[in-house]
Amino acid sequence: MKKLLVYAVMVFVFVASCGKGEVKKVSEDSKIATEAFALAEKIRDAYVKRDISGIESNTTRDGFRTISSTLKTFDSVVLTFTPAWVEIEGNVVHLNISWKGTWQKSGKITEERGMAVFVLKGRPLKVDNILRANPFRYPTE
C-alpha cells in the first residue's frame, strides 16, 4: 500500500510540474541574432543571383561600397554560410560566419572557405562592413 501511495504521489508531482502552460518570451538578443542570420542569407542569396539592387537594399552606403568594390565576375557560384557567433554591442552587431564557396568562371573552378565578420548596424539591421575573409571577393582570377 505504501508503494502504491508513493507511486501515486510521484505521478501527481510529475503531471503537475509538466502541465503548466507557461510560454517563455523570446529575448531581445535572440530576436536580433535571428534578424542577423536572415540578413546574411538575404545578402548571400542576392550575391548568388547577381542581384545588385538586392545587395544594395540590405547594406548601408559603406557596406555596399565594401561589397561592390570587391565583386568579381563568375559564371556560377555555390556559396554556403554557417553562422558561428553573434556579438551585440549597443547598436552594432558582429555576426561571425563560416563560409564555403565554389565559383566557376570560364571552365575554371575556384574553391575557397573562410571566416567573415559581418558588421551590422541600424534598424532594421543592414550590413555596414565585412571584416576578415570577405566571401564576395572571389574568384580572384
Q: Among candidates 92, 70, 74, 85, which has minimal Cα distance to 115?
A: 85
User: Residue 123 is placed in which grid cell?
Assistant: 534598424
pTM for this prediction: 0.80
10 Å CB burial of residue 98 (0-12, 13-18, 19+) is middle
Q: How many CB atoms lie within 10 A of CB 41?
A: 12
Q: Among candidates 76, 58, 85, which has minimal Cα distance to 139?
A: 76
Domain boundaries, the chain: 28-140
pLDDT digits (tens, 9 = 90+) for 65-120: 999 999 999 999 999 999 999 999 999 999 999 999 999 999 999 999 999 999 99
Q: CATH 3.40.50.970: does it fit domain 28-140?
A: no
CA 12 to CA 29: how far, in whole Å? 37
